[in-house]
Amino acid sequence: MSDPSPLAGDFFSLLARHHASPLRTAVSPDAPVQTQATTVFAFHFADGVLMGGDRRATAGNVIVTDCVDKVLELDARSLLAIAGVPATAFEMARVLQTSFEYYRRSQLQSLSLPAKVRALARLLRENLPMTMQGIGVVMPVFAGVDQTVSPPAPQIYFYDPLGAQFHAVGYAASGSGAGTIRSILSFQDRYGQPRPTRMNLQQAVQFALRLLMIASEFDSATGGVNPDAHTFATIKVLRGSGVETVAAEKQAELLKS
């Protein structure tokens, strides 16, 4: 039997020992225009955290698709919203999903919230060469449950492209439509009734959909919401007990009410 390693639960160290970098890429001067995914956001409401995003991806002035899911479940108690280059962001999400599950299985317990936050920061730092060249830039929003408090409470974090992490007290947004969304969230938090933190689930979903509808009016890269075309957002809710997805049918129903 081999000697136990102090890094037994560290998936990233396992990759390094086998010289398997999860985000190793080469850049060609003739590379095509990058596909970009925007816009995503998260805010606290009365029951937890709502995380949402439009479903549009663009490449320059071309709309590539309106069917991208930008809010991803990493495990039962954490969500990742991606803004930037989907190819890089989806690979980061897959590495994190595997890392969290590897730790859970090898250590018989879930990774702590601070460790999850640092794991994403580490991937962003490893992507630094691509970021400095303006290729593969990712600016995610992360939400996870802090299980050290009672009752367990979801928290929101946002990152810059170099891997710096910031704790968001009330809300965070990323992507090309983020400026508009942050402005509306700030106004609603200061002067609106109800404030986001006092909204129930129905009010929070309605508010999220309207955020994207307004952002799409000022930003062509934001897909918005179009009930007539059955185009809705990706919306997930994180509570202390876990993750819930708000389906398109439910979104349509709430928009009519």
pLDDT confidence of 4, banded at 50, 70, 90? very low
Catalytic residue among 25, 35, 38, 39: 38
Question: Which residue range(s) make up the domain with 160?
Answer: 34-256
Q: Residue 141: inside a domain, yes or no? A: yes
Q: How far is CA 147 from CA 85, 121, 151, 189, in A?
A: 31, 20, 8, 26
Q: Please give the full DSSP string across 16-80, using - where no structure is assigned.
A: HHTT--TT-----TTPPPPPEE--EEEEEETTEEEEEE---EEETTEEEES----EEEEETTEEE
Q: Residue 23: inside a domain, yes or no? A: no
8-state DSSP, 111: P
| Phi, psi angle pair for 64, to nearest 5° | -75, -45
Q: Residue 3: inside a domain, yes or no? A: no
Residue 58 annotated in active site = no
Q: Residue 153: inside a domain, yes or no? A: yes
Total structural domains within the chain: 1
pLDDT digits (tens, 9 = 90+) for 37-72: 689 999 999 999 999 999 999 988 888 889 999 999
> Residue with structure tokens 């991208």?
68
Q: Residue 12: inside a domain, yes or no? A: no
Residue 169 has pLDDT above 90, yes or no: yes
Q: Residue 9: inside a domain, yes or no? A: no
Q: Residue 2: inside a domain, yes or no? A: no
Average pLDDT over every residue of 124-149: 90
CATH number for the domain including 208?
A: 3.60.20.10
Q: Residue 119: inside a domain, yes or no? A: yes
DSSP three-state, residue 139: coil
What pTM was computed for the model? 0.86
